[in-house]
Amino acid sequence: MQLKRGHDWCLLLCNRRSFLPPPFHLSIHRTSLVIRKGGQRESQAGLRKKMKEDSKMKKILFTTFLLAMAWILLSATGASALGYLVYDGQRVESTGTGFGNVTTILTLQNTPSESGSVAWNGSADVITLDAKNTSQTWLFSSIIATGITQASEFAIVYNTNETGPDVTNFGDLTLQVFNPAGAVVFTTEGLTGVSGVDFPVVNNGVGGAGYLFTLDATAAAGLQPYFTTPDSYRLGATGTVLNTDDGPENFYFAKVGALTPVPEPVTMLLFGLGLVGLAGVRRFKK
């Protein structure tokens, strides 16, 4: 801090050991204020540097405090995030087609990407962002009525409907469980098996063929308790799809094992070659 020479006399009067508590000492060098601590000279630049470091440390501590408080609040609500939805490359086909004939939980539509969710606020469904009004939460009792009696039987089918791009890609997909008051009490953590994977449009149309996502063991264990109190809890979903054009992407749930696997093109080719080979062998024998 630079001082005018007219004020030097004031500082000189205060230049006594009793002015600052030990181990600080005050002295005047021309018009600059210098504080000594323990015999070490502390310049203005050094003080500014220390103040900056102290401010940075306070910000770090405050951020840590906020994160800790957020964790405490999350714990207090009883919400937990456990397990993943898993894609293992399997395509399946449902017997129903159309929004009214499949058990839709979430529909998204926008371009060039789409994100949205369906949640429960305690009295009604809440649809956000690019989610469409065909999205809905489901009471676990209604899920059980479709034949899914436990979490290990539960699966999500992703049905992509686009006329523009040949493929879509995933951003994320999570499931949420809501209590009667509308608070989230459970959520899955995300997806596995989708990194770098393209999802081509297959059998365009709502329902029909789609891509199968199952619960890993951790997610199934976390979801299972809500099947035992099915009239009190609802299931919702949040998702993001990339590389979209103009069609709606539909997520519906189905029972594992109740869906018909769709053969991959390579499988069909090998099957065809096998038939040709068998025909050749039979002709050769004749």
Q: Is the pTM of this model over 0.75?
A: no
Q: What amino acid is encoded at 8 in this protein?
A: D
pLDDT above 80 for 39: no
Residues 111-133 have a mean pLDDT of 96
Percent of the chain with pLDDT over 90: 44
Count the Cβ atoms, other than its own, within 10 Å of residue 145: 12
Q: What amino acid is encoded at 134 in this protein?
A: T
Q: Say if CB 44 and CB 31 are below 8 A apart.
A: no
pLDDT above 60 for 99: no
Alpha-helix residue ranges (DSSP H) falling in the chain: 8-13, 44-77, 140-145, 217-223, 225-228, 265-285
Summary mean pLDDT of the chain: 75
Domains of the chain by residue range: 5-74, 78-263
Secondary structure of 85-119 as H, E, C letters: EEEEEEEEEEEEECHHHCCEEEEECCCCEEEEEEE
Nearest to 158 by CA among 24, 268, 254: 254
Strands 190-192 and 84-97: what pairing?
Answer: parallel
Q: Say if CB 251 and CB 103 are below 8 A apart.
A: no
